[in-house]
Amino acid sequence: MTAGQIAIGIIAVYLLVLLLLGILSNRVFRGTAADYFLASRGVGSVVLLLSVFGTTMTAFAMQGSSGEAWQSGIVVFGKMASWSGIVHSACFFLVGIKLWALGRRYGYVTQIQFFRERFESDGLGLLLFPLLVALVMIYILMGVIGSGKVISTVTQGALPQLFAHTKGGVPYWLATGTVCLVVLAYVFFGGVRGTAWANAFQTFVFVIVGIITFAVIADKLGGPAAATRMVQEYNPTKLKRGKTEQDVELYKTKLAAFESSPRTSVIKPHPPKDVSQLEFLSYGLIPLSVAMFPHLFQLWLTARSARTFRLTVVAHPVLIMIVWLPCVLIGVWATSAIFDGRAVIPPEGSPNANAILAIMVSKLAAPALGGLLAAGILAAIVGGLDAQFLCVGSMFTHDILAHHRRAVPLNDTQLLRAGRLFVVLVVAASYLLSLWLTESRTIFPLGIWCFSGFAGLFPLVFGALYWRRATKAGAYASTLTTVIVWIWLFQQSNYGKADEVLVLGVLPVIWIVGASAAALVVVSLLTAVPSPGTVAKFFGTSADGR
């Protein structure tokens, strides 16, 4: 069998397991809307940890981290993984547990229900719905496009007679369509329980695959120490955050040596990059986005009790380190790796950053590992897609259809039918949009923009939970400011096509979150306090204007 055929077999087994999980979860389905959307609030600690982690880890955790490390160096672990480990757990503790408690007390299924009652405004819900759906759709499209690219790349050569125009690989349209159908099947039948079970399985897959990949590649390069020494020799700036004048001079010397040597056996030095302290710190605001992910909110509400969160808060940073560190190191090693006297990454041309991990595996590992890697990357991608599909269907069902038909309430059967139908429509729309959108856009900066939008709403949820003085007018001002600033900055980046995401030396999230927080505080202080009943409901005391 060819490497492509082995990859098809492994991917087929992986997708079949997902379908079986959906069937098994449907066997314990209770037939109620509460069970479909919240698993009857009965998910335990281990499944909550694995499902939350699987949902927050996307293809960036494997493809993206290796590709960005190849470009920027070891600093990627600090500015992405370290910040995520710290901030994610803080958000779970400070935001997730409080929202779970309020959701359990008042029967919330979506975050819009919470905001609507906290700020006494149906209009705020109508404003948040299209904004959250738009941001989730960007997130979904990143996953759908990424899954199609992975499958079509790793299966090349498998079916040359059937798909000659794609070098024998599964075509992009068929790959994305297959993934969408599989995810739709287990979400449709299993609901959030099927999603939680599938994410738990997928977390296990990409954690194990990441460890195996790291061990095999490190062994081929002579061990971690030997691989790192190659980086110290050819690209030492990849092992630190900034650059000095000596680094620039050393780069010029090594480049001259490279240009006068046989290209196949010498590493091409990378120009030193500098990540300023301010830019590094600005990455710390990106993980605030998890506090406003609608799909994560829905998973939080499935927890059996507040104690269920303990394992997630403590173990989430550990899992991030286990997944990210091997992938980042592989990306760093790729800048300087030599095997059998030749550069592993061809010095001529510039490979796509998202393909670095796949290139390292194809050059240094057996074909079967390439198929396992594809399954691992798909697990990281699909682990977010399923929850995102379900949360959009849930928001439509509860925040638009059911809420605005209060005169004739929907029964459980109607809620289930509406929720499932909207999930089907969302999956179909995502698939068609993935075929229509250009694939020339780089996924990493597009992800930064998506997360920046969610992070811009962090002041809203934090203020709603901890500041009794936050008002309806302040909530409107914060939300609208987020939209306006995000759209304007996104437009300046040519709608995500520009690889450069910095604005005045920092990520756009700084300006978006800052403007959102300022709008919430200033407008809330200038407008009337919330009603005593609302303050008593959410804070247990009456309003006194302070």
What six digits make up the tokens of 474? 């302040």
Q: Give the DSSP letter of residue 300.
A: H
Q: Does residue 206 sit in helix, strand or coil?
A: helix
Number of Cβ atoms within 10 Å of the Cβ of 469: 17
The pLDDT value given to residue 423: 85
345 Cβ contact partners less than 8 Å away, ≥ 6 residues apart: 70, 334, 335, 337, 351, 356, 359, 360
pLDDT for position 442: 59
To 10 degrees, what angle do helices 458-466 and 111-118 make? 60
DSSP state for residue 396 in the 8-state scheme = I
pLDDT given at position 264: 59
Classified by CATH at the fold level, domain 3-439 comes out as: Sodium/glucose cotransporter (1.20.1730)
Q: pTM for the whole thing?
A: 0.86
Nearest-Å Rg of the Cα atoms of the chain is 24
Angle at 518 between CA 453 and CA 291, to 5 degrees: 40
Q: What pLDDT does 545 receive?
A: 40
Per-residue confidence (pLDDT) for residue 498, from 0 to 100: 61
Contact 112, 132 (CB under 8 A): yes
pLDDT in tens, the chain (546 residues): 788 888 899 889 988 888 888 777 777 766 666 677 666 677 778 888 888 888 887 766 777 788 889 988 999 898 888 899 999 999 999 999 999 999 999 989 899 999 999 999 999 999 999 999 999 888 888 778 878 877 887 888 888 888 888 888 889 899 889 988 988 887 887 777 777 777 788 888 888 888 888 999 999 999 999 999 999 999 999 998 888 889 899 889 988 888 887 665 678 888 888 888 888 899 999 999 999 999 888 888 888 888 899 999 999 999 999 988 998 999 999 999 999 888 888 877 677 777 788 788 878 888 787 788 778 878 877 777 878 888 888 888 888 888 877 666 777 778 788 888 888 888 898 888 888 765 555 566 777 888 999 999 999 999 999 999 999 999 999 999 999 999 999 888 776 666 567 777 788 999 999 999 999 999 999 999 999 999 999 998 544 444
* Domain extent listing, the chain: 3-439, 456-546
For the beta carbon of residue 181, count every other beta carbon within 10 angstroms: 13
Q: Is 453 helix (H, G, I), strand (E, B) or coil?
A: helix
Q: How far apart are the first and last CA of the chain?
A: 72
